[in-house]
Structure 1
């Protein structure tokens, strides 16, 4: 797969859904609603940019869910050794009163949470270069990197590599392979 480069699969930053740090979670849902009709371009994450369009961070579905239920902060205070037992996960919902509020309260909360409060600013290993191979991206995703991966050309962010786009390339390659008889 080394012959397939990330720049041939990524979504350019200019084509991605973007918002500012001052926008709210409600604004995230509004802008994502606008992209729903085009299934090829339908996004579930947004890129956060400054007034000049420069990359600042990203907001994923997981970031939004964690923000809408603030008791997850209490839950993750106990997440120290990297492993949650099955019993802990099952009991956490009850013990931390997760998702017990009416949807109206959650909606009101979302209208007041700023994107800057929940966005994820990638650390260095969460970036890929345009000329990296897809195998590097596959490895990053399988090892659990916070989705989507951000693509750079040198130090400049140029695009986004979504997990679904990577999967689509692998699916197409697999279906094009001749099966042994």
Structure 2
């Protein structure tokens, strides 16, 4: 894994779904649907860009779910870490009344939410460089960084490294190993 570089696995920014920050959450769903219909590799996240196409942040599935169910804000405010048991998860759904609204209400709310309000702006430590090893990338994922990881060449964002793509490399290498009989 040390000899495989991030740039050989990443999806170039030019091949990734992008959306401008002033668009809405509903627009995100539309652009993801259009990308899927085009036969391209399905993306479930979008890169947020400004009017000049410069990287600003990302909108992930997790960002979307936390936005369309606003009671998660209350839940995370009260959550101090630790282990989540099945009972604590079920209690949270009940106590915070998660996912009780009709889908129509969720849709209407989502139509008015701007991408800029929900996007995740990565911290400096959340970026990878093109010449970083996949070993480093895997470590970043396992340690819990907000996925997908954004890749840079110097200060310029050049691509996206998804967890699933990294897994496929590991899977392929594991299957190609010569095992003793």
TM-score range, shorter chain: over 0.9
Secondary structure of 1:76's aligned partner? helix
Tell me the equivalent position of 1:17.
17
CA distance in 2, matches of 1:117, 1:108: 16
CA distance in 2, matches of 1:94, 1:137: 37
CA distance in 1, matches of 2:72, 2:17: 26
- For structure 2, the 5+ residue unaligned runs are none
CA distance in 1, matches of 2:50, 2:6: 25
Tell me the equivalent position of 1:155.
155
Q: 1:40 to 1:163 in 2, by over 3 A?
A: farther
CA distance in 1, matches of 2:13, 2:145: 19
Deviation, structure 1 residue 174: 1.4
TM-score (norm 1): 0.95
RMSD: 1.3
Aligned structure 1 segments of 4 or more residues deviating by more than 6 angstroms: none
Tell me the equivalent position of 1:63.
63
Deviations 1:57-87 (A, max 9, x none): 000001000000111111111123x225424
Q: How many residue pairs were aligned?
A: 180
TM-score (norm 2): 0.95
CA distance in 2, matches of 1:84, 1:114: 33
Deviation, structure 1 residue 179: 2.1
- For structure 1, the 5+ residue unaligned runs are none
Residues 3-152 of structure 1: matches in 2 within 5 Å? 3-37=3-37, 41-80=41-80, 82-86=81-85, 87-152=87-152
Deviations 1:118-152 (A, max 9, x none): 10001111100000000000001111111000000
Secondary structure of 1:173's aligned partner? helix
Q: 1:162 to 1:39 in 2, by over 3 A?
A: farther
CA distance in 1, matches of 2:173, 2:6: 15
Deviation, structure 1 residue 37: 4.1
